[in-house]
Amino acid sequence: MTLITKADSADAAELTRIAFTAKRHWGYPEQWIESWGDLLTVQPGFIAKHETYAAKVGGRAVGFYALIRGEARLYMEHMWVLPELMGQGIGRALFAHAVERAKALGFRSFEIEADPNAEGFYQRMGARRIRTRVTEVEGERRELPVLVCDTYTKSGERGVY
């Protein structure tokens, strides 16, 4: 059974390990992973400042997400699940939890800048692409999908997730 709990600053190293492990799952060159080190590293202060929740199975963190408040929008900054546990509903449970947290915080939607490999997951969760952000890694062009997830449908209920 998956339990989702608020992360603690002491969880930073474990959440960082999950982020690096999950990113490596997509087969990126190691030098790219190293170049993304700052983005993948979860600092204790980050956890203290932002809505960060961990999925635990048997008391062990196996995934997490973080929501960051912008001036007018909420952003999902992290969403990672250990590769060996992908496809078992942990990501779905984390995402559903994030939708509920966004609602509780008073947001009608949140934005996600996703790894291209994760776009399909987010779309299955009800998010839709609103634009693309172009970046470059070691001279190679990358297109990152930017999606939005509405927390309410017109009837006031959340869609399928």
Query: So where are the chain's domains?
Result: 2-150
pLDDT of residue 16: 98
User: If we measure between CA atoms, which residue out of 38, 80, 78 comes closest to residue 61?
Assistant: 80
DSSP 2: E
Mean of the per-residue pLDDT values of the chain: 93
Check if the beta carbon of residue 78 is closer than 8 Å to that of residue 66. yes
pTM of the model: 0.91
CA distance 4 to 63: 9
Helices (H) and strands (E) counted in the chain, each on its own, are: 6, 7
CA distance 153 to 156: 5
Residue 161 has pLDDT above 50, yes or no: no
pLDDT tens per residue across span 5-41? 999 999 999 999 999 999 999 999 999 999 999 999 9
φ, ψ of residue 109 in degrees (nearest 5): -165, 170
- Token duo for residue 60: 């062990």
pLDDT tens per residue across span 44-77? 999 999 999 999 999 999 999 999 999 889 999 9
The amino acid at residue 20 is F
- Token duo for residue 147: 């999606």
pLDDT of residue 62: 98
pLDDT of residue 157: 53
CA distance 76 to 100: 13
pLDDT tens per residue across span 126-152? 999 999 999 888 888 999 999 999 997
User: If we measure between CA atoms, which residue out of 22, 52, 18, 7 comes closest to residue 118?
Assistant: 22
| CATH level 2 (architecture), domain 2-150 | 3-Layer(aba) Sandwich (3.40)
Return the SS3 of 58. Answer: coil
